[in-house]
Amino acid sequence: MWKLWPLLLATLGRHRLRLAFTVGSISVAFLLYGLLSAVNHALTGGVELAGQDRLITTHKTSIIQSLPRAYLDRVRGYGEVRGAASLSWFGGYYQDARQQLPVFVVDENYFELYPEIRLVRSEFEDWQGDRAAAMVGAGTAAQFGWRVGDVVPLKSNIFVRRDGRAEWPVRIAGIYRRDEGPQNAILLHYDYLNEARTFGKDTIGWIIIRVRHVQSAPELARQIDAQFENSPEETRTASEKAVAQSFANQLGDIGAIIRFVVSAVFFAMLLVTANTMAQSVRERTPEFAVLKTLGFTDATVLGFVLLESVLVALLGGCLGLALAVLIAGALQPVLSQFLPSFRLTATALYTGLGFMVALGVLAGLWPAWSAMRLRIVVALRRG
């Protein structure tokens, strides 16, 4: 088959305009596939990264409703609770109110629940000792050029200070990093917010719980919710992974949507590529007859046409995925504060490569079969 490469390249260059349109169409399909895969990973990637040993307790009615801070101490009393901390949404922004930042208010022991977060010890101790200090993710720090020691005037579209000031100045005590997952959150002290806000005093948003044994998590969740049953603020406790999945589900089944769109586009590309290959085979019917006369077997002719079809699909597909990688890379800094995991993964690239091969084989199967079954006499007479 390697000896057929010069002939194959000559065949591809015969109708360059038609080849360009076919490759361009396939490129658009795989560009769309790549960008949709990046969006899918951005919206659902956090689900796979969610800790199996962590539970999240929220208000039963809605995650935006607050819980009494007293609930946190009661949750900490369970023997299976290794640690628990509160997490509240601050609704913060910096300079531009249209660009919301993931600013959260947490307890001092919050980082004990996330051992995968990497901190500088001295910076962490500095943060613990200053109520007005903040820990900032490496992504957000790089985005705004913040450094340790900078004072940042954050504002909130939810909370107002009792002294009437709109700004909540915070000093960046440290920058945290993690190998997997987002690095864009800004973490403030709970006491800093609680002592100065005008409403919601002594309330929290969520309770993050780290359990001692993963297998005990479902029973612990049931016990916690049972404790607050029939109270004014009933709770819903679920695994961190389940909560992350519920966020993704609010936007719909992203995976199903992407599969539907990609399937529709690939089916259209299958028809386009198959039509191109069928037309190419019809035009070269006498040539296939000559090849068979020279001793080329039916299997060789079949493989030649299939190889041509797969090569066309690979040309278009690789070009489309390359464009998707470039575009995703250019958009990632812009979308990092909202979609920190927006990127094309290696799995998506390998899957795309498989799609290219499958598209080429399916598109060229019938034309290749027709070329293989050609009878020499009939083909020469037709030419």
Query: Which of the four pLDDT bands, split at 50, 70 and 90, describes residue 59?
Result: very high
pLDDT for 47:
46
| Better-predicted residue by pLDDT, 334 or 27 | 27
Mean pLDDT comparison of 51-65, 124-138, 341-355, highest-scoring range:
124-138
Tokens of 368: 């290749």
pLDDT for 139:
85
Mean pLDDT for the chain overall: 84
Instruction: Write down the pTM of the prediction.
Output: 0.63
- Asked if 8 contacts 311 with a C-beta cutoff of 8 angstroms, the reply is yes
Mean pLDDT of 71-97: 92
Mean pLDDT of 219-227: 93
In the predicted model, is pLDDT for residue 229 greater than 70? yes
Which residues are within 8 A (CB) of 364 and not within 5 positions of it... i.e. 6 or more apart? 273, 274, 277, 305, 306, 308, 309, 310
Which has the closest alpha carbon to 342: 118, 187, 177, 184?
A: 184
pLDDT for 228:
94
- Asked if 271 contacts 22 with a C-beta cutoff of 8 angstroms, the reply is no
Question: 247 φ, ψ to 5°?
Answer: -60, -45
| Better-predicted residue by pLDDT, 292 or 78 | 78
In the predicted model, is pLDDT for residue 250 greater than 80? no
| Better-predicted residue by pLDDT, 86 or 11 | 86
In the predicted model, is pLDDT for residue 296 greater than 90? no
pLDDT for 119:
93
Angle at 25 between CA 21 and CA 30, to 5 degrees: 145
DSSP assignment of 341-363 equals T-S--HHHHHHHHHHHHHHHHHH
pLDDT for 305:
83
Which residues are within 8 A (CB) of 79 and not within 5 positions of it... i.e. 6 or more apart? 212
pLDDT for 254:
63
